[in-house]
Every structure is written in C-alpha cells, then in structure tokens.
Chains A and B, each alone.
Chain A
C-alpha cells in the first residue's frame, strides 16, 4: 500500500472519528458529571437523525436550521427523561448508580426504539446531500459531505469546550464532575446541573445523528452499533473524561479506517473492542483517566 493511500485513509478515519467524538463526548459528560451509563444514547442519536430528516424533507429547511432543531429535540428529550426517571434514581441512597442507570436507560431505549419501529416503520431513509461530490486536496480525494460533517462536529465540540471552560454554567458542570458534595457546599444545585448535563449530552448525540443522516441510512435501529463503539471509546479515553473521549474517538476512527484496509473489512467493527482490550491490559484507567475508585 502506498504512503499517500495510508495518509488518505488516516484522514478519512479522522473525519469519521470526529462524529464518533461528538457522540462519545455526550456519553463521557453524562458519566463524568452524573455517573450515568446511558444505554439510550444511541436512541437519542437516532431521534436526532429523524428530527433533521423530517425538517429537511418535510419543511425543506437547510442545515443551519435543522441542526439546531435536532439539538433542541435532543435536549428536550434528555431533560424529560432525566426529570422523569433519573432524578428519582439519584435521590435514592445506596443504589449502584452505574448499573441501575444502565438498566433503566436500556428500558428507555427499548421504549423509544420500538415506538419508532411501530410508528415510522423499519424503512431506510436517506437525508438530502448538502454538498455533493468529492474534492481533491494534495492529490487525495475526500467526500465533501464527510468533510462538512466533520467540520460541523469539530465546531460543535469546540464551542462546547469553550462553554465548559469559560461560562458560569460550564464551571458549575466541571465542579459537579470533580466533587459533587464540594459543589453543593459552594451553592451549586447539582441536581439541576445533572439534568442540564443530560440534556446537553443528548443534544450532542442528536447532532451527531443529524450529521450522519446524509452519509448513511436513517432507520430505527441505527443507534445500536455506534452505542457500543461509544462505550469502547469512553473506556479507552478514561471513564468520564471528555478530552479522553474525543482523543479515543479520533483514535478509533483512524484505527478502523486503517484496520479496514490492512486487516479484512469484516473485522472493521471489531477494532474498537480490540483497542479496548489492549488498553485495559496496558492502562486500565484509560488515556486520561484517574485511578479507579476501589469500591463505590
């Protein structure tokens, strides 16, 4: 294989990885701030894709309207789910929040996915392309749609990082992630922060879904595959670490893209889990993780 092909594949992997990163960022935020393992993240991704698809095909609006619309849909659904189910769970003492939230959100995922199957049906849809064709950069060929999606994903992540760093709300979110009781002591309403975090995480998943709409097919079970990859990425990056999740996702994108070319294509989806296994043997805390708490 020639060097330019390898570079081309690596960059393609980074482009896919950017969308994984957007997805995994929400997952990592939820784990870091509220210790919630969100199995319904794939369904939020799917709902975002449908919201964007509906707006694009039904009303005929462009991406600058349907992307925020998908984000808003995701945020509203996330907040509703949190208030209805996760908040009562948080208020209980002595619960293994990781396992309970994982099973709880699995129930929610089942409800959402089957409602979608029953109402929209298992049909495959494809969102309209925004920027058809491909461009040639330094002799390497890239699909425009993918460049655009990765660009928007990068922009969203950049904005979120700035928000987390410099706004009062972002500081409150980070404080809650670091030490919830200390955050409460200085007057942060950690319950409210958790609800908002869940909403933001869901919105990120929804935007990722909306961005993948024109690249892949939209259908009710599209969330399952990316969910498992998201979990792998979040562990590789270190549970609950947002920069870790982003780096892990980019790494996964590149590994998948190169591995799909070097190894057989059938094992492409397995690479994430291999990465996970190797990482756990070499460095169980993940790339950016803090040492594991011994017992919860």
Chain B
C-alpha cells in the first residue's frame, strides 16, 4: 500500500476528497442521519487507532473504550468544572490520552500479545470502576450532562459535529499514513513481525512501543471528547468492555493490516446495527454470527480479503499473459490463514 511519492499524493487527495464528499452529502441529510454518520465516523477514528496498534505495531490493547471514555470525561470535567472552552478541553482530553498511553507502555514492555491484551482488559475495567467510585469528580455511575456548557460555532449543530468528526478522521488517517511511511513505520512493522529479530537489528523497541501507544491513545481520547460533545453526555458506560470489544470487532471486521479496513468496518457495523434497529437483540445475534464468520472465513477482514483477491487476480492474469493459460507458473490462491 505504500510505494512511491505519487501514491502518497494519491492517498492525501483521496482522504481529503472523501472527507469533502461526506461533508457535502451531509448538508442534505436530516438530523437523525447526521448523528448516525457522525457516530460512525467517531467509531471509525477509534477503530483506526486500534487497528494501527495491532495491525502495524503488533500490540494488543483491549481497553480502547477506556481511553475513549477517559477522553470524553477529561473534556467534560474540564468544561463543566473549570470552564474551559470545548476546543481547549479537547486538547486537554488528548493530554489525558497521552498520559494513559504512557502508562500502558510500562506493561507493554514486560508483556506480549494476549498477556498484554488481558492486562489492558483489566486496566480498562479498573478505570471504569474508578470513574464510578470517584463520584465527587465524575458524578458516579449515572454520569452527567453537558447542558451547562456553551459550545457555540461548529460544535452547536449536528452538521457541524459531523464536519469536525470527519475532519478528525481524515487527519488521523493521514497522520497514521505518514507515520507508517516514515522510518518509524518500518520499525513498527519489524517489531510486529519479530520483536527479538528487530531488537537484534537495532530497532529501539521501547521507543517504538512508546510512540505506538502514545499516538493511538491520543487519537482515541480526542475521538472520545468529540463523542461527548456530540451526545452532550458522558457516562461510565463509555468505558465498558462491551464498547472496547465493539471497537475491536469493527477493526477486525474491516481488517487491521490496512488503514482503510477499520474505517470500513466501523462504518459498516454502525450503519448495519442502525438499519436493523427494529430487530432489537436479534441484530446483535446477527453481529455475533458475523464476528464468527470474520474469524473463520475472512480472518484478514473484508478489505484484506478484497485486496488479496485483487492482487491474486492481477498476478494471475499477468502470468497467464506471459506463459499462457496452461503454464505451471500460476499463482497459488492466496492463503488467507498464513501471516
């Protein structure tokens, strides 16, 4: 996905025009669909950051919702208690995300893969319980509303919220894209593929883990702040494991070895669940079946499966043209399972 300077320009143009198209189409949507689209974009930001962390840096973090929710709480508390304006509070939320990211680097230095995953799962739950119990700051289990805050400007309308969220999504996409195209992107992927070998070749593993957690946590926390502005409410439910798994599922559904996959996954699942509202719990049964199918049938996600099919067809037709249909030089069908 990352080759050459022209490809980079292409990505920038594609991201900017996709964001512009969503904003233009948004002008014609009613309030309900504006909210749904903004929610999808918000979830896509978190799924993107999570997918980056697993797919490119190889770090398993099962607390995306805790970081997202903490960002929402940080912004909400800064606005209601200290009277910050929303934009400054969003920066405060990013700072909160940065702190959590730095804290998570410590276990990441000692633990790998599923051990790190289960640790972060517990860490997220600990954060949720802390927010429930420190009621003098957080108003306890029921959360609190932001009706006292003057938002003003873009943040006051559903359309403005959509524009801001989509802009953040586009910037996050380009940010991760350029991070991956830089020297650090290669370090990340070397660490993901084989940490010991990367270490032996001089990759600074500690620094890589630091940047990976730092960057992804900041992005998640920013998205959480925007979600709080959008729903005008924060509650400990935002930090719940269910939300974390939701982001994980969205990310894996699209496929984590691409940056576009998690965005597609988040949009697909958000809209699917909304369209099937009338089905109540049955839609979650359907989603559960989709999750199983994802792991068993297309483990690299929808986009991963699509990409490997396209590459397979292209290589296959090239070889067929060169050596004829009956040649031995046919590409083996892509093995979805192999890493």
Task: Please give, as numbers and ranges, the residues of chain B lying within 8 Å of A163 by CB-CB distance.
Answer: none
Pick from B118, B126, B132, B289: contact of A107, CB under 8 Å: B289
Is B121's CB within 8 Å of the partner chain A?
Answer: yes
Contact residues of B between 281 and 301, Cβ < 8 Å to A: 281-282, 284-285, 287-292, 294-296, 299
> What's the least CB distance linking B174 to chain A, in Å?
28
Question: A143 near B: Cβ within 8 Å?
Answer: no
A7 CB to closest chain B CB, in angstroms?
27
Q: Please give the distance in Å from B253's CB to the nearest CB on chain A.
A: 10
A83-99 to B contact mask, C-beta < 8 Å, 1/0: 00100110011111011
Q: Would you call A114 and B284 a contact (CB within 8 A)? A: yes
Q: Is the CB of A114 within 8 A of B281?
A: yes
Count A-side interface residues using an 8 Å CB cutoff.
49
B107, CB-defined interface residue at 8 Å: yes
Check if B118 sits within 8 Å of A103, measured CB to CB. no
With CB as the reference atom, state the residue of chain B lying closest to A239.
B115
Q: In the assembled complex, which residues on chain B have CB atoms less than 8 Å from the CB atom of A50?
A: none
Interface string of B229-251 (1 = CB under 8 A from A): 00000000000011001001100
* CB contacts between A and B, total, < 8 Å: 133
* CB within 8 Å of A: which B69-91 residues: none
A94-B337, A94-B339 are contacts. A114–B123 as well, Cβ < 8 Å?
A: no
Partner of B338, one of A89, A94, A232, A274: A94
- Whether A93 and B338, one on each chain, are in contact in the complex, defined by CB atoms closer than 8 angstroms, is yes
Partner of B125, one of A103, A109, A228, A281: A228
Interchain CA distance A231-B110 in the complex, whole Å:
18
Across the interface, do B112 and A295 meet the contact criterion of CB distance under 8 Å? yes
For A272, give the chain B residue with the smallest CB separation.
Answer: B122
Report yes or no: B122 in contact with A277, Cβ–Cβ below 8 A: yes
Would A235 and B119 count as touching, CB distance under 8 A?
yes
Distance of A106 Cα from B295 Cα, bound (Å)? 11
In the complex, A113→B284 CA distance in Å?
A: 9
A273 CB-CB contact with B under 8 Å: yes
The reply to whether the CB of A110 lies closer than 8 angstroms to some CB of chain B is: yes
Question: Does A102 contact B252, Cβ atoms closer than 8 Å?
Answer: no
The CA of A99 and the CA of B241, in the complex, are separated in Å by 16
Which residues does chain A contribute within 8 Å of B299, judged by CB atoms? 95, 100
Query: Taking the complex as formed, is A133 at the interface, i.e. its CB lies under 8 A from any CB of chain B?
Result: no
Please, how many angstroms separate the alpha-carbon atoms of A99 and B249 in the complex? 12
Write the chain B residue with the least CB distance to A224. B241
A231 to B124 CA separation, bound complex (whole angstroms): 13
Indicate if A179 sits at the interface (CB-CB under 8 A). no
Decide if A103 touches B113 in the complex (CB within 8 Å). Answer: no
Report yes or no: A106 in contact with B113, Cβ–Cβ below 8 A.
no
The dominant DSSP class at the A interface is helix
Among A89, A99, A118, A228, the residue within 8 A (CB) of B121 is A228
Check if A182 is an interface residue, CB within 8 A of chain B.
no
B-side interface size class: 35 or more
Is A194 in the interface zone, CB < 8 Å from B?
no
Q: What's the least CB distance linking A222 to chain B, in Å?
A: 15
* Other-chain residue from B110, B113, B249 in contact with A280 (beta carbon distance below 8 A): B110
In the assembled complex, B154 has its CB within 8 A of some CB on chain A: no
Taking CB atoms, residues of chain A closer than 8 Å to B249 are 103, 106-107
Instruction: From the candidates B118, B194, B196, B288, name the one contacting A231 in the complex (CB within 8 A).
Output: B118
Q: Which of A66-74, A210-218, A262-270 lies at the binding interface?
A: A262-270
Chain B: which residue is nearest A264 at the CB level? B133
A185 at the interface (CB under 8 A from B): no
The answer for the CA separation of A136 and B317 in the assembled complex, in Å, is 82
Question: B130 contacts the other chain (Cβ, under 8 Å)?
Answer: yes
Nearest CB of B to A31, in Å = 9
- Using an 8 Å CB-CB cutoff, how does the interface string of B120-144 with A read, 1 for contact, 0 for none? 0111011001101100000000000
Q: How close is A160's CB to chain B, nearest CB, in angstroms?
A: 24
**Given A99, A102, A109, A118, which contacts B282 in the complex, CB threshold below 8 Å?**
A118
Closest chain A CB from B14 CB (angstroms): 29
Nearest-Cβ distance from residue A284 to partner chain B, whole angstroms: 5
In this assembly, does A292 line the interface, its C-beta being within 8 Å of a C-beta of chain B?
Answer: yes
Is A159 in the interface zone, CB < 8 Å from B?
no
Given contacts A92-B337, A110-B285, A295-B195, contact A235 B291 (CB under 8 A): no
Interface string of B16-45 (1 = CB under 8 A from A): 000000000000000000000000000000
Name the interface residues of B273-323: CB closer than 8 Å to any CB of A: 280-282, 284-285, 287-292, 294-296, 299
CA distance A99 to B115 in the complex (A): 10
Which residues of the partner chain A approach B287 to less than 8 Å between Cβ atoms? 107, 110
**B99 interfacial by beta-carbon distance below 8 Å:** no
Q: Within residues 155 to 174 of chain B, which ones have a CB less than 8 A from any CB in chain A?
A: none
Q: Give chain A's interface residues, CB within 8 Å of chain B.
A: 37, 85, 88-89, 92-96, 98-100, 102-104, 106-111, 113-115, 117-118, 224, 228, 231-232, 235, 239, 264, 266-267, 269-270, 272-274, 276-277, 280-281, 284, 292, 294-296
6 nearest CB pairs, A to B: A107-B291, A110-B288, A111-B288, A98-B114, A273-B122, A107-B292
- CB pairs A–B below 8 angstroms (26 shown): A37-B114, A85-B296, A93-B337, A94-B338, A98-B117, A103-B249, A103-B291, A104-B295, A107-B289, A111-B289, A114-B284, A114-B285, A115-B285, A118-B280, A118-B281, A224-B242, A232-B122, A235-B115, A264-B133, A267-B129, A270-B130, A277-B123, A281-B110, A284-B115, A294-B196, A295-B195
Which B residues are closer than 8 A to A by beta carbons?
A: 60, 107, 110-115, 117-119, 121-123, 125-126, 129-130, 132-133, 194-196, 241-242, 245, 248-249, 252, 280-282, 284-285, 287-292, 294-296, 299, 337-339
Assuming A102-B117, A107-B292, A235-B119, what are 8 further A-B pairs, CB within 8 angstroms? A92-B337, A93-B337, A111-B292, A270-B125, A273-B129, A284-B115, A294-B195, A294-B196
